[in-house]
Amino acid sequence: MSKKNNAKKPLDVYVVAVDMGYGHQRATYPLKHLSSDGQVIHADSYEGIPDEDRDIWLSSRKFYESISRFKKVPVIGTMAWNIFDKFQEIKDYYPNRDLSRPSIQLWSIFNMMKKKKWGKHFVDMLEKDPKPLVTSFFVPAFMADYFNYSEDIYLIVTDTDISRAWASMDPAKSRIKYFAPSKRVVGRLQQYGVPKENIFYTGFPLPTENIGIEDSEILKNDLAHRLRRLDPECKYCLKYKNLLLDQLGIDVMSIPQGGRVTITFAVGGAGAQRAIGIKIIKSLRGKLLLNQIKINLVAGHHKDIAEYFTEELKKIGMEKEIGHSIEIIFAEDKYEYFGLFNSVMRTTDILWTKPSELSFYAALGIPIIMSEPIGSQEFFNRKWLRTIGAGINQEDIRYTDEWLFDLLKSGWFAESAMHGFSEAAKYGTYNIEKIITHHESEAKEPMVLQY
């Protein structure tokens, strides 16, 4: 039986992530304030973790990063990746059917918890001062459930569709409650056997500093100005002037036109696609030298990627543009990087990235150019972005200076920005906090969630 907090006390939870790529940590960054100390606990590297537990986590992370990079090797790299990806495959959604049978990946996880007590030390540590647990990766949730953690267990889903690995061995008996970022995930979890009462459609937890509090004033103001930059010939903004006024509460056409378009290119945590950023720079060289466009190259917290960008820019004679029309976004601390990235997003007009968890940033009214997906879940993220009209596949990078500006002139990017804003859930962070508060206080009144 879960121990409930006194309703008069402020909400205090354990926010838990793992160092397995940016997605799981990015999802917890906006929720740090739910913890009394404002910290995120890493289930794979917390202080005092047993060596055996750490080794299991470390081998998993190194294998994923290695095979992500090895994928670039012609023929054999692709073959190796396809074999690996088969184990995390997401099956077709239709026909709607029972998909509750556990996967090989799931059997492996629970076998290590059973035979090696993987995670028991972690759960025992939390049990010394039990609080609701909110995690963005399924393994810590499974650990808490398996070793009978006494408080509530909440799991944030970080993709638009998910494999069977996200649901427990026996979902009907599991105590895990899910925060779903998309309606597809709600249905998928039910296919996997998770009870409806344990699934909450919240949206992905986006940074509150990009949204605001009173009627999303920050988000709407940033989007209104972005639309003027994305629609230089006013083909979209003029046609839908009244609709934009209704949606944003701002007369977009009254905003002075002008200002260079800013593109942010973000590589994934493993940095496998870093070369794309330099190819974009080469194609847009003329526009960058004339200060007609700006490019942010996101290195994340990887110093080697930041150095790569710097060295490659020197090779092509563009190092003098660093700090002017080109910025390298880097911070040594990962959570400092997330804060920096969110700040950069406020002035970003187009986000160029693989369809990772950053797909959900379309809800901030930022159109997305999608590079090649890596992994089964990213193919589904790409499909979701295209379905809601918020993303487009990258064209031939060599000719970015042609197709990018054709799309700008047509007003497509402005339209895409509004599709993301209108169709993707924006208030995941607020909804998650509201649900936990409501549940832990045992409130009787119904919840009202925003999307």
Q: Where are the domains of the chain?
A: 14-206+428-441, 209-423
Determine phi and psi for 106, rounding to 5 degrees: -70, -45
Sheet holding 14-17, edge to edge: 41-42, 14-17, 133-135, 153-156, 176-180, 199-201
CATH 3.40.50 fits 14-206+428-441, yes or no: yes
CA distances from 89 to 86, 93, 105, 165, 278 (A): 5, 12, 10, 9, 32
Mean pLDDT split into 10-residue runs, the chain, 451 residues: 52 94 93 95 96 90 59 60 63 91 92 96 98 97 98 97 96 97 97 97 97 91 97 95 96 90 85 88 96 96 94 96 96 95 98 96 98 88 97 96 96 97 96 93 82 92
Q: What is the pLDDT of residue 5?
A: 47
DSSP 3-state assignment of 367? coil
Q: What is the pLDDT of residue 76?
A: 67
- Alpha helices, DSSP H, located in 208-273: 217-230, 241-248
Same fold, 14-206+428-441 and 209-423: yes
- Beta strand 326-330 with 350-353 is unpaired
CA-CA distance, 107 to 113, in Å (whole number)? 10
Is the pTM here over 0.75, yes or no? yes
CB atoms within 10 A of CB 430: 19
CA-CA distance, 32 to 29, in Å (whole number)? 6
CATH architecture, range 209-423: 3-Layer(aba) Sandwich (3.40)
Q: What is the pLDDT of residue 375?
A: 78
DSSP 3-state assignment of 65? helix
